[in-house]
Structure 1
Amino acid sequence: MREQITVSQYIISFLESKGIQWIPGVPGGTILPLYESLAASNIEHVLARHEQGAGFMAQGRARSTGEVSAVFVSSGPGVSNLITAVADAQRDSIPLLVFSGQVPLALTGTDAFQELPTASIVSPLVKKVYKIEEPNQIIEILEEAYELSGSGKMGPVWIDLPKDIQTQRIEISNDHLAIKLQQSERSLANKESEENTTYESLDLFLQEFKSLLESSQFPLLYLGGGAKKEFLRLREFVSRFQIPAVTTLMGLGILGKDDPMNLGMMGMHGTIVANEALGVCDLLIAIGVRFDDRATGAIQKFCNQAKIIHIDIDAREIGKNKSANLSLHKDISEVLPFLIEEDFCIQNSNALEQIDVWRQIPEQHPMKNILLDFASAMPGGDHYILTDVGQHQMWVAQYFPFITPKSWITSGGQGTMGFGLPTAIGVALSNKEAQVFCFSGDGSIMMNLQELSTLKEQNLNVKVILVNNEHLGLVKQQQDLFYGSKHSGSKFHFHPDFSLLCQSFGIGYSEWDWSLGTAELQRFLEKKGPAMIEVRIPSSWGVYPFVPGGKSNQEYVLEKVTM
């Protein structure tokens, strides 16, 4: 039996079939047919106060669950307001399905009200952009877009929907979506079966890998966000063969904080031991990384004494920034089982002794104690740690004891201020029983402050930890180091009263004096519901070590920080 439904009804039914239970967005005239269909569905709509906030809420679901998430916006400013969140998702490989309204086809190119050339604007920022110009296109495009977003190197895919197309009817069978879902599952199974037949091609790689590793005196793992999903096997691999590892910002939590093989974060604000090890290692095994500038420092000086093995799911990343002696274009999950089963004979005792020497160099900072105190005061159970972008982000990355990489969520490649609060809302909506903690700065919090309304409206268990130094801290720090302490544009000369601000939004507030211990903090954190904890710190505190631009990771700046 066949029936006719509108394009917008088909989209909503498709999203329901994929298990999407809530969608953030901001409606407008050109997307209203889709919203009419949404209202008749079982999917909850979360009304963001700004399209950028909606995009980050969708990211919160995708980052915490690993599933493709959807977001709805209208045309014109709805599109342009969303772009920052989509660019952020593209850089960090976050699977988003974006639906934007567009002016009717007859008005295309006439500079109609709220018209933008969406496809040409967003095409560099997404895996693919589709403009639906014929109603039956939606049937194949939706399947393709969903699979493309969530497969390989994941990322955002954009579907632009002219208003008149949304209301046109298409003919489908009653069980069409169920059949499509079964076809998608069979396609995935066939793809996995095909991949299984390629394992024989790994033999040569494994032989060369073994030869390079066993001839190395100082092997070092370099782990990034692309390796997170295999963190348990990576822990097993590291433990079995005692190979030390450094991680990128996005790879934090892959190894336990107390693992003796975990040298910590590398790069601009990396640990001394991580950056020193990069300078002398003779074999670098890079897994799920981009060799980006924040991690490598001056790329022409990066690991010049080392042979490099690079494993990545994205062939475009291999050799893009740094040539490899041995490379493999595969998902790490296809490789690790074979590496773990190998019997490597590794001679790196001298390297491990040198690592112990570097560990003795003090890196004490008052924020370390503050963050460890905070961690000790957190209630037990499942939790997520998020940050905005700035000094607080780097301090959390340096010192917080992450249990798993899943519990750590931050904006990496784009470094987007305003990321934290709306993303935390998305995480909490997708993980109702979890504790969600968002570290923000007095600069970052103001960039999507309006989403406190959404937080209160949803009554989510999110605690915002506001680290307040009345400055754009990283900007001020660089001005102090490199621009003669000329603080142009880095100091806020007016600050809101955050306690009154929280009161106006109807959420709890507390100021934590970190010098007085954690008893009051612990009581406050145990309360359910949304709240903000303000922590005041001196603006003189910097993030160290600090690798200046154009320098190698070994040319870091150290400064003793006094209380």
Structure 2
Amino acid sequence: MREQITVSQYIIRFLESKGITWIPGVPGGTILPLYESLVESNIEHVLARHEQGAGFLAQGRARSTGQVSAVFVSSGPGVANLITAVADAQRDSVPLLVFSGQVPLALMGTDAFQELPTMDIVSPIVKKVYQIKNPNQIIKTLEEAYHLAGSGKKGPVWIDLPKDIQTQTINQSFTHLDFDSQKIELMAESEILEEEVVGGDIVWFLQEFKSSIEGSRFPLLYLGGGAKKEYLRLREFVSRFQIPAVTTLMGLGIFEKDDPMNLGMMGMHGTVASNEALGVCDLLIAIGVRFDDRATGAIEKFCNQAKIIHVDIDAHEIGKNKSVHLSLQKDISEIMPFLIEEEFSIHNENALAQIKTWKEIPESHPIKDLLLDLSSVLPKGDHYILTDVGQHQMWVAQYFPFSKPNSWITSGGQGTMGFGLPTAIGVALSHKEANVYCFSGDGSIMMNLQELSTLREQNLNVKIILINNQHLGLVRQQQDLFYGSKHSGSKFHFHPDFSLLCQSFGIGYSEWDWSLGTKELSRFLEKKGPAMIEVRIPASWGVYPFVPGGKSNQEYILDPMITTT
């Protein structure tokens, strides 16, 4: 029997065919036809309490699985509320398919109720935005959009759906929906949108790479989020040839914390060893990175003594912020066999001796002991560590012993406060048996606090570790360092009782006095289900090292409480 279906029914069946089992969203009038079709499917809808929260829930699935995830919102304020989460996804290369409702075609451009020019607003923060004006357009659009979101440099793709279009019948009847065959037909055309070659001769590139690394006396790897999927072979490479490496915030976990070749995170709050090495290396091998300002410091002073090799999947990133001497636009997986199988003659003994000296410079902090104590009592099994944005984020990045990169999830390029809680919910929904830990601050947690309702409703195994200093800590720290300790707008003069707050949401709560040890904490963490652990710390604690804006990575400030003698 041949079947005719509507646009909204086709969308839902397409998403089912891609293995999507749950979709977050917030419904409204202009997206209700899609919600009507959703009821007929096996896909679970997760009702977020705010569209930004819905976007971060979708990010939780995408970031933890690597798969394209979907989110539904209505027009007008629904679109506007979602923008922060989509901008965050764009900057960190997170694959999302966004479906937004829109007023009917006849009302577009009339300032109708809850109308916004969605395409104009979102086009700078997505890989591509589509507006469906003909029901038959949806077949090609979905395949192309899904492919774009999940290929090359991944990112969000937006589909805007006028309400009347959603209910119209596609001018084609189906005996069955063969999405795979349609994908084959559309693949070549969609790939054209991504095609741009930089340094395309890979054989020549590898010859130059070998010559450069063997002629170097201080080679240094600079690895970011784009290199994470090859972390096992990268560990083998640096161990075999004793080549030191630094990572960005997004590249943490590529190397184990105690790996002698791991110099740690670089940049504004990077380790002394990593930032000093960047100042004197003579060859910088950058893979899967953007040369962003938080990592490089003053770009005009960054690695000026080094020959720079850049490998990245995105041609637009090569040479964008920093001129390079040798480049290749490729996925890292295409060069890993060469790195592993080739024999390199490396002569960097003096560099390795210098690194040992830098690692002896004290960088300890009371929060380090707190985090290590906490990590020591985490229940066994798969786990994910997430953070919001602020001092707690940097402390976790500096001190937490990540075992692998995919267990570490944070907001990098946008630095979005409010990221942690809803993203942790999305991770927990995608990994029901895993333990999910979300570090947040008393400032960040308030940004998407409403999603505690979603957490309790889903009854997920998410533990929130709330670091409470009653301030916007990183703002206060900068005011102390650079603005004469004029604390304008950085202190909270009223603070909620988080114990009562958790009680009102039906979520477990415990205040941990970490100076008394971990026995009670361990018992609390072993209980399944959602809970919050509050840890109070002094507002005077800062994040160090600290590279001031406009300075080179070697012009860092060390913690004034720590002596280096």
1:286 corresponds to:
286
Amino acid at match of 2:157: V
- CA contact under 8 A between 1:542 and 1:561: conserved in structure 2? no
Report the CA distance shift for 1:105/1:425 in structure 2 as closer, same or farther (over 3 A). Answer: same
In structure 1, distance between residues paired with 2:109 and 2:325: 50
1:360 corresponds to:
360
Report the CA distance shift for 1:200/1:311 in structure 2 as closer, same or farther (over 3 A). Answer: closer
Question: In terms of mean alpha carbon deviation, does 339-348 or 288-297 score higher?
Answer: 339-348
Report the CA distance shift for 1:209/1:186 in structure 2 as closer, same or farther (over 3 A). Answer: farther
Tell me by how many angstroms 1:171 deviates: 4.0
Gaps of 5+ in 1: none
Report the CA distance shift for 1:220/1:391 in structure 2 as closer, same or farther (over 3 A). Answer: same
In structure 1, distance between residues paired with 2:144 and 2:226: 23
Report the CA distance shift for 1:328/1:388 in structure 2 as closer, same or farther (over 3 A). Answer: same
User: 2:170 aligns to what SS in structure 1?
Assistant: strand
1:169 corresponds to:
169
In structure 1, distance between residues paired with 2:185 and 2:379: 43
In structure 2, distance between residues paired with 1:163 and 1:187: 26
Amino acid at match of 2:409: I
In structure 1, distance between residues paired with 2:94 and 2:255: 22
1:37 corresponds to:
37
Residue 494 of structure 2 corresponds to residue 512 of structure 1 = no
Tell me by how many angstroms 1:185 deviates: 6.2
Q: How does 1:147-186 map to 2 (within 5 A)?
A: 147-178=147-178, 180-184=179-183
1:94 corresponds to:
94
1:377-408 CA distance string (max 9 Å, x none): 10000000000000000000000000000000
Amino acid at match of 2:180: L
- CA contact under 8 A between 2:199 and 2:329: conserved in structure 1? no
User: 1:467 aligns to what SS in structure 2?
Assistant: strand
Amino acid at match of 1:319: G
Q: How many residues align?
A: 557
Residue 82 of structure 2 corresponds to residue 77 of structure 1 = no
Gaps of 5+ in 2: none
Amino acid at match of 1:220: L
In structure 1, distance between residues paired with 2:515 and 2:217: 46
Tell me by how many angstroms 1:172 deviates: 4.0
1:559 corresponds to:
559
1:15-40 CA distance string (max 9 Å, x none): 00000000000000000000000011
Q: How does 1:369-408 map to 2 (within 5 A)?
A: 369-408=369-408
In structure 1, distance between residues paired with 2:547 and 2:481: 11
Tell me by how many angstroms 1:189 deviates: 11
Amino acid at match of 2:170: I
In structure 2, distance between residues paired with 1:8 and 1:456: 30
Report the CA distance shift for 1:314/1:458 in structure 2 as closer, same or farther (over 3 A). Answer: same
In structure 2, distance between residues paired with 1:40 and 1:505: 31
Amino acid at match of 2:344: F
1:133 corresponds to:
133
Q: How does 1:5-404 map to 2 (within 5 A)?
A: 5-178=5-178, 180-184=179-183, 201-404=201-404
Tell me by how many angstroms 1:336 deviates: 0.9
- CA contact under 8 A between 2:371 and 2:396: conserved in structure 1? yes
Tell me by how many angstroms 1:298 deviates: 0.1
2:443 corresponds to:
443
In structure 2, distance between residues paired with 1:95 and 1:181: 19
1:485-513 CA distance string (max 9 Å, x none): 00000000000000000000000000000
- CA contact under 8 A between 1:388 and 1:418: conserved in structure 2? yes
Amino acid at match of 2:247: T
Q: How does 1:449-464 map to 2 (within 5 A)?
A: 449-464=449-464
Let me know the Cα RMSD of the aligned residues: 1.7
Tell me by how many angstroms 1:3 deviates: 1.8
In structure 1, distance between residues paired with 2:121 and 2:101: 14
- CA contact under 8 A between 2:5 and 2:173: conserved in structure 1? no
In structure 2, distance between residues paired with 1:366 and 1:68: 40
In structure 2, distance between residues paired with 1:302 and 1:176: 57
In structure 1, distance between residues paired with 2:496 and 2:202: 59
- CA contact under 8 A between 1:205 and 1:328: conserved in structure 2? yes
In structure 2, distance between residues paired with 1:250 and 1:188: 30
Tell me by how many angstroms 1:476 deviates: 0.1
Residue 436 of structure 2 corresponds to residue 428 of structure 1 = no
- CA contact under 8 A between 1:267 and 1:294: conserved in structure 2? yes
In structure 2, distance between residues paired with 1:465 and 1:191: 43
In structure 2, distance between residues paired with 1:363 and 1:134: 61
1:122-141 CA distance string (max 9 Å, x none): 00000000000011000000
Amino acid at match of 1:86: V
2:548 corresponds to:
548
In structure 2, distance between residues paired with 1:91 and 1:547: 22
- CA contact under 8 A between 1:2 and 1:172: conserved in structure 2? no
In structure 1, distance between residues paired with 2:186 and 2:144: 12
In structure 1, distance between residues paired with 2:155 and 2:343: 36
In structure 2, distance between residues paired with 1:188 and 1:70: 20
Amino acid at match of 2:82: L
Percent identity between the two aligned chains: 82
User: 1:385 aligns to what SS in structure 2?
Assistant: strand
1:468 corresponds to:
468
Amino acid at match of 1:343: E
Tell me by how many angstroms 1:201 deviates: 3.5
User: 2:5 aligns to what SS in structure 1?
Assistant: strand
- CA contact under 8 A between 2:220 and 2:246: conserved in structure 1? yes
Amino acid at match of 1:399: Y
* TM-score, length-scaled by structure 2: 0.97
Report the CA distance shift for 1:305/1:84 in structure 2 as closer, same or farther (over 3 A). Answer: same
Report the CA distance shift for 1:26/1:256 in structure 2 as closer, same or farther (over 3 A). Answer: same
Tell me by how many angstroms 1:203 deviates: 1.2
User: 1:485 aligns to what SS in structure 2?
Assistant: coil
Tell me by how many angstroms 1:561 deviates: 3.6
In structure 1, distance between residues paired with 2:7 and 2:203: 49
In structure 2, distance between residues paired with 1:428 and 1:298: 38
Task: Please identify runs of 4+ aligned residues in structure 1 that moved more than 4 A.
Answer: 185-192
- CA contact under 8 A between 1:17 and 1:177: conserved in structure 2? no
1:435-491 CA distance string (max 9 Å, x none): 000000000000000000000000000000000000000000000000000000000
- CA contact under 8 A between 1:464 and 1:531: conserved in structure 2? yes
Report the CA distance shift for 1:239/1:173 in structure 2 as closer, same or farther (over 3 A). Answer: farther
User: 2:177 aligns to what SS in structure 1?
Assistant: helix
User: 1:4 aligns to what SS in structure 2?
Assistant: coil
1:498 corresponds to:
498
Tell me by how many angstroms 1:241 deviates: 1.0
In structure 1, distance between residues paired with 2:460 and 2:392: 23
User: 1:46 aligns to what SS in structure 2?
Assistant: strand
* TM-score, length-scaled by structure 1: 0.97
Amino acid at match of 1:477: Q
Amino acid at match of 1:392: H
In structure 1, distance between residues paired with 2:289 and 2:410: 16
Report the CA distance shift for 1:495/1:200 in structure 2 as closer, same or farther (over 3 A). Answer: closer
1:118-164 CA distance string (max 9 Å, x none): 00000000000000001100000000000000000000000000000
- CA contact under 8 A between 1:129 and 1:158: conserved in structure 2? yes
